Amino acid sequence: MPSLPLAPGATLGVLGGGQLGRMLALAAARLGFDTVILDPEPDSPAARVAAHAIVAAYDDEAALAELAAHAQVATYEFENVPVAAVDRLRALGVEVAPGPRALAVAQDRFDEKTFLNGAGVATVAFAAADSPEGAVEAVGRVGAPALMKTRREGYDGKGQRWVEHAADAAAVFQALGGAPVIVEAPAAFARELSVIAARGRDGAIAVYPLAENHHAQGVLRRSLAPARVSAAAAAQAERIAVRILTGLDYVGVIGVELFELADGGLLVNEFAPRVHNTGHWTQDGCAVDQFEQHIRAIAGWPLGPTDAVRGVEMLNLLGHEAHDWARYAAEPDSRLHLYGKRDAKPGRKMGHVNRLRPL
């Protein structure tokens, strides 16, 4: 086990080489750390700013051993990393944060909501099913219309469908591939919010101001932060973050997606055990952004301040929208963040812009 706090000069491992891994590597470099990236794809965005890159499957034994030879502390940039890979790294003496329990819970939508309710955090009503008949019964319990989602995998709106009538449930179950599903009651939400928070190895918790988020086709397009919310909503969001982080004995940054109801109450939609797209505004809105905060947490450093020093409107640049870089570069109040991805496929997250706003 590494000696913590980890001193600068050490190497941090990151499973996943996309934009989140890239921005984590950049933050780690600023603090004097080297990074080793493990990703199945060669030439990943993160690998190109890292000291070492390993190109292999996440569960490749030799690759994990190589990572462990470089890094005493590791993290991951997305929640579909196999838990077995994290367990293997831990067996090799690598301290992986967030830990395997947080990862496992986040990988299964039913386990996630069950954990949340158990921790005293409200969600929509939900039920699990692993057969067409079970799906019909689950929709019957939750009530139609309902959202059916595969319990595992799926992100950005993939792997989910609406069930308009209970009678359709079996067909939708099959259309989703026949894998175990969760059926969720619709949330009659007024706004989508999110809260980014961090927990250090000493148990200290730091919570950023809320962001208001706008999605299209399941993909985040725009965040406004700090969101204009009541003091009660801010306090509730902080309470939610604290319950999740302590309930999971969590270390690192977490992204929690919230539904704000018409009465101002908050439900948790889901959480991601990692830095989060709705937290990109912190790069230009806070003295310590979510990426540095995550590095601080996993390295056993004290957490940094989370108060907003500027308002930010964050715009995701999807696919060809990144071709407008010159326009954003010319805006004095826009801070451009591009991920170095080679191929601007439609809908692909290529970068984002943080437009600075008065607080």
Rounded Cα gap, residues 288 and 231, in angstroms: 23
E-state strands within 97-188: 126-129, 146-150, 160-163, 181-184
Q: Is 26 in the site for a second copy (CB under 8 A)?
A: yes
Rounded Cα gap, residues 235 and 9, in angstroms: 38
Q: Is 51 in the site for a second copy (CB under 8 A)?
A: yes
Pick one of 340, 347, 348, 357: the residue that binds a second copy (CB under 8 A).
340
Q: Is 304 in the site for a second copy (CB under 8 A)?
A: yes
DSSP 93: T
Q: Is 49 in the site for a second copy (CB under 8 A)?
A: yes
The span of 46-54, 188-196, 260-268, 273-281 binding a second copy (CB under 8 A) equals: 46-54
Q: Is 291 in the site for a second copy (CB under 8 A)?
A: no
Q: How many other CB atoms sit within 10 Å of the CB of residue 337?
A: 18
Q: Is 287 in the site for a second copy (CB under 8 A)?
A: yes
Closer of 232 and 287 to a second copy (Cβ): 287
Amino acid at 142: V
Pick one of 13, 14, 33, 170: the residue that binds a second copy (CB under 8 A).
33
Amino acid at 164: E
Q: Which residue in 77, 37, 45 sits closest to 340, CA to CA?
A: 45
DSSP 158: T
Pick one of 2, 5, 311, 347: the residue that binds a second copy (CB under 8 A).
5
Closer of 239 and 310 to a second copy (Cβ): 310
The span of 75-83, 195-203, 264-272, 332-340 binding a second copy (CB under 8 A) equals: 332-340
Pick one of 1, 3, 9, 263: the residue that binds a second copy (CB under 8 A).
9
Q: Count interface residues toward a second copy (CB under 8 A).
A: 43
Amino acid at 24: L
Q: Is 55 in the site for a second copy (CB under 8 A)?
A: no
Q: Which residue has the tokens 């812009």?
A: 353
8 A C-beta contact, residue 255 and residue 268: no
Q: How would you class 228 by CB atoms within 10 Å of its CB: exposed for 0-12, middle for 13-18, buried for 19 or more? A: exposed
The contact set with a second copy (CB under 8 A) reads: 5, 7-9, 22, 25-26, 29-34, 48-51, 284, 287-288, 296, 301-302, 304-305, 309-310, 322, 325-326, 329-330, 332-333, 335-340, 342, 351, 356
